[in-house]
Structure 1
């Protein structure tokens, strides 16, 4: 028998420091390392590779026991279902790495995410291993494709898994006369269900293996994206949840059942978290009287509805053409501390998980998923709107009157990213393209005509119309289809809006810290004049609403002269006071034009303009 390792002569505390030094565990407990149990590269650059400490684990049984306990208790682990193992006989089972762990290692495990199927990437790591973005977020390159570079690490070639139960888009052509369509459909459905059963069988075996974990210590994530259109989607979703009963009590649990939002699968996910974490349901007690919400006075009903999701944490809702949905922004350090503390309870996944503590995307705003860590605001579901007509009307009034609505002409974040620039807008190679405003409508026109129900237009109390920093010839101008459509929209709105109760803010967004350099390239006098004429067209279009009694109107446009002439920084710094005066003159000109004789009332008696909206903190990178 050989001599014991000199390492064992050291105290356990010193040995643990050595284990951390070689990368078995991080020094910072708040930033655990992330390892893929299949050995795939997670893309992190600041953590050591498993190969750096693999030899230590093989040195002797005692050291392995200590180091393995630290390794599995201090780090995050990911395990992906290996679909290739079903067709390649030389490959181990689809979840084989989990069965390779010893019982002691499983008992030490504190954080594990099992990805049975991901139709969009569950987790991403950008530079330095930090979370980048959910890959469902559109990167408008060319025709609006999801950026494939985000998917290179978890998917070879940028491809995602098909949703469970989804039909194969590449279906081999059958021989014959093609008269057996009904039979083919039934056969395909059975094949999809059979394939799903293979995944579920492997997951049940894995759940049995997880019975070795220590009760109350494991934070478990489960991802299984299912096709919500399949007739057996709910049945399969419940089958995904059932094996969890075989696992001891979990410390925390997160589940995702679909890459996009689906109310039925969302309900299954939420119920699963409540059952697994044993969250007690609110006790039901019969009310002493027959009083209901609808029987209360309307004033009281409206006050109650203000405490639901109808009012966002920031009281601001953003809509853009590219996002095709409501989003919200949160940052504003100028607000009072109590108000800020309330908003931070609802901080979005993207904002609160930018560090390496990110557990993967279980965001209920993006997916049919549920996790107690996701506090994102999501647009209210149909429940309140379907109870009865009176409550539906109250809910609509609360939502549209209680929030500020910010309409971005293209994309909300970042609002300078416009699709028609294509790859040139990112690489900034070659001369600037010359193009007209590309769309036949403004996003504001689409929102006011197509998104808001016409009977809800009088409820609006605050509208902010944001136009991104276009290149000079791209600003909308008189005579173009979009401007003509917008003028028609304003005329249509005159007898539908409650103008005396409405505030409008018109914004021509300035460039921010991360805006591509092309937007700050030097321009000519002709370009300055073209931009200025577009400014006049935009605020001039709102004159009919001012004449109709608009309560307040504010304008923010940057002087286009800031990009004229020499691009050197010192040259522009010297012009800052003059440029600020030019911007202030544009603001006053616009507000006087729209409000007319009532302009002086805007700031009379110490009145101030409403604070900047939250989107500006993201756009101008004011963190």
Structure 2
């Protein structure tokens, strides 16, 4: 039988294969795809030679026009590109891209000026070791940096002129020293075609003015402004009954993910999570993430879900905006709109969250001396508006571990504490309030117990017990006004002594007796706090973290 091909039949070639098959062959052959590409390293080939994958990709691009077109599409549309300014012409690699290549980009990160290491990245770990590596960070950008500003303007105009509509996700970092510089560096982004995603960071430290600029430009770049302009007339929120307004506000950041807020004078209102990272409630690597708390993990540490070279755009840490950041920060703006909204916001914020007042130096670090004022006094008299105190439903006050004595009667802080109790007894809604006091213990951190606890004398221990009674006894005035839920958790002074370590059962019994004695000192002889405790009371996040550290040491 004659097997000679008939006249006019063309032999099968690579280009006769279906496009989807050719694309798979490109990837199997080594074409770089779905990867991070650093333009800085690719340009400076004497410092960082191209890998085998880059060489294969380069060879494929030179094959023919059809292969060039198809491989270019894969390279520029599936990879994540990163570039950082270091010196003049650093951004040239972006300007060298063809207009067609720019149109194919789907993910681009530009670090124009970065003044800090990023959360969770290796640099942060290096910083803890006080390495000189962090000296390489930039200083905040000012108007005097004309070279970098000029090159950025030129590069940005070129890129924005060729971006494909709703195709590119742009991450832009430029830490500046003033608002005028911020307005200048984001100006090219105001005229960009609609972006699929836009994250902008303008300063290392949080700041409302720069954050608002980042948010306004990023949302406009994503087309949010145009959508809002077509909504029509504004919704008259205050025409709703107050009950509905409070219900709606309950779905804002006024209610935190764990319904728990910590406060101290240095950090103001903030959230505390007992676990730093989260790998899921049943995913390996971070098994300590409790399934009960995992629902809240989506509202924290947004940076840990981004590739390491993208950077941090978390509004909690920086003057930045990212639509992916849902990390909680105090919803200050809701208190500033108008008087009526401020009242509604206070009602939701203070009633729906548990408030934990913690020492400025940390809950488990011994206090070297009594402060001028206790944190709780500052919170109740200076931070919470007097007309909002009655909204508080749960208040936990943490006292730090201390040496022989603390908060003596002659000290100003003690007198201020007594005045605070008098101040709030007429303003708190005491029948609806749960008050919990923690006299925190020294927690092991992989080291020996501090001498002041391991060598505790009888006299020193009795001084601590007297402090408990002297400090908490005056709270009985709150019971007279209706306080019905009071809990005291008190560090037993002799728990870390030789006696305590040899007799853990006895320590537990005496700790329970101490708690009952103090609670009844405040609430009366018939009070039994154990009958009122519920599962919802639970441990606060600072205590969960401390207990985990103690168990692992």
**Counterpart secondary structure, 1:560:** coil
**Counterpart secondary structure, 1:265:** helix
Give the equivalent residue in structure 2 for 1:284: 231
Matched ranges for 1:133-172 at <5 A? 152-156=132-136, 160-162=138-140, 164-165=141-142
Counterpart among 58, 62, 76 of residue 59 in structure 2 = 62
Q: Is the 8 A contact 2:456 2:494 kept in 1?
A: no
> Aligned residue pairs: how many?
504
1:342 deviates by 5.5
Give the equivalent residue in structure 2 for 1:273: 218
The 1:492/1:286 distance shift into structure 2, 3 A limit, reads closer
**Counterpart secondary structure, 1:281:** helix
Q: Is the 8 A contact 1:321 1:408 kept in 2?
A: no
**Counterpart secondary structure, 1:376:** coil
Q: Is the 8 A contact 1:471 1:519 kept in 2?
A: no
Q: State whether structure 2 residue 497 is matched by structure 1 residue 548.
A: no
Q: State whether structure 2 residue 290 is matched by structure 1 residue 343.
A: no
- Worse-superposed segment, 96-105 or 354-363: 96-105
- Worse-superposed segment, 492-501 or 604-613: 604-613
Q: Distance in 1 between matches of 2:76 and 2:313?
A: 22
Q: Which blocks of at least 5 consecutive residues in structure 2 are unaligned?
A: 1-21, 63-67, 276-280, 282-287
Q: Which blocks of at least 5 consecutive residues in structure 1 are unaligned?
A: 1-10, 41-48, 86-91, 134-146, 166-191, 421-434
Give the equivalent residue in structure 1 for 2:353: 403
Give the equivalent residue in structure 1 for 2:430: 499
**Counterpart secondary structure, 1:507:** strand
Give the equivalent residue in structure 2 for 1:125: 121
Q: Is the 8 A contact 1:38 1:97 kept in 2?
A: no
Q: Distance in 2 between matches of 1:500 and 1:341?
A: 32
Give the equivalent residue in structure 2 for 1:188: none
Q: Distance in 2 between matches of 1:538 and 1:93?
A: 65
The 1:519/1:374 distance shift into structure 2, 3 A limit, reads farther
1:486 deviates by 1.6
Give the equivalent residue in structure 1 for 2:332: 381
Q: Deviations over 1:538-590 (max 9, x none)?
A: 32342322333213111112323221128xxxx94x64333332332222222
Q: State whether structure 2 residue 85 is matched by structure 1 residue 81.
A: yes
Give the equivalent residue in structure 2 for 1:172: none
Give the equivalent residue in structure 2 for 1:560: 493
Give the equivalent residue in structure 2 for 1:142: none
Matched ranges for 1:473-492 at <5 A? 473=404, 475-492=406-423
Q: Distance in 2 between matches of 1:273 and 1:51?
A: 33
Q: State whether structure 2 residue 149 is matched by structure 1 residue 200.
A: yes
Counterpart among 191, 195, 205 of residue 260 in structure 1 = 205
Q: Deviations over 1:294-345 (max 9, x none)?
A: 344433333333233222222222101331x1102356989997x8576344
Matched ranges for 1:536-615 at <5 A? 536-565=469-498, 572=501, 575-597=503-525, 599-600=527-528, 602-604=529-531, 610-615=537-542
1:504 deviates by 0.8
Q: Is the 8 A contact 2:405 2:463 kept in 1?
A: no
Q: State whether structure 2 residue 380 is matched by structure 1 residue 448.
A: yes
Q: State whether structure 2 residue 243 is matched by structure 1 residue 299.
A: yes
Give the equivalent residue in structure 1 for 2:468: 535
Give the equivalent residue in structure 1 for 2:111: 115
Q: Distance in 2 between matches of 1:33 and 1:340?
A: 32
Counterpart among 416, 421, 427 of residue 364 in structure 2 = 416
Q: Distance in 2 between matches of 1:36 and 1:471?
A: 54
Q: Distance in 1 between matches of 2:304 and 2:509?
A: 40
1:221 deviates by 1.4
**Counterpart secondary structure, 1:267:** helix
Q: Is the 8 A contact 2:404 2:461 kept in 1?
A: no
The 1:399/1:96 distance shift into structure 2, 3 A limit, reads same
Q: Is the 8 A contact 1:477 1:533 kept in 2?
A: no
Q: Is the 8 A contact 1:405 1:464 kept in 2?
A: yes
Q: Distance in 2 between matches of 1:579 and 1:530?
A: 18
Q: Is the 8 A contact 1:81 1:95 kept in 2?
A: yes
Q: Distance in 1 between matches of 2:206 and 2:153?
A: 26
Q: Distance in 2 between matches of 1:611 and 1:353?
A: 28
Q: Deviations over 1:122-143 (max 9, x none)?
A: 56623xx7x669xxxxxxxxxx
Q: Is the 8 A contact 1:57 1:64 kept in 2?
A: no
Q: Deviations over 1:240-282 (max 9, x none)?
A: 2332367666443210123333333323222222222234624
Q: Distance in 2 between matches of 1:390 and 1:246?
A: 38
The 1:71/1:331 distance shift into structure 2, 3 A limit, reads farther
1:492 deviates by 2.9
1:448 deviates by 1.4
Q: Is the 8 A contact 1:514 1:621 kept in 2?
A: no
Give the equivalent residue in structure 2 for 1:37: 40
Q: Distance in 2 between matches of 1:363 and 1:606?
A: 37
Q: Is the 8 A contact 2:41 2:48 kept in 1?
A: no
Q: Deviations over 1:193-244 (max 9, x none)?
A: xx2654432112222454677776654211223334x5xx2xx434323323
The 1:598/1:75 distance shift into structure 2, 3 A limit, reads farther
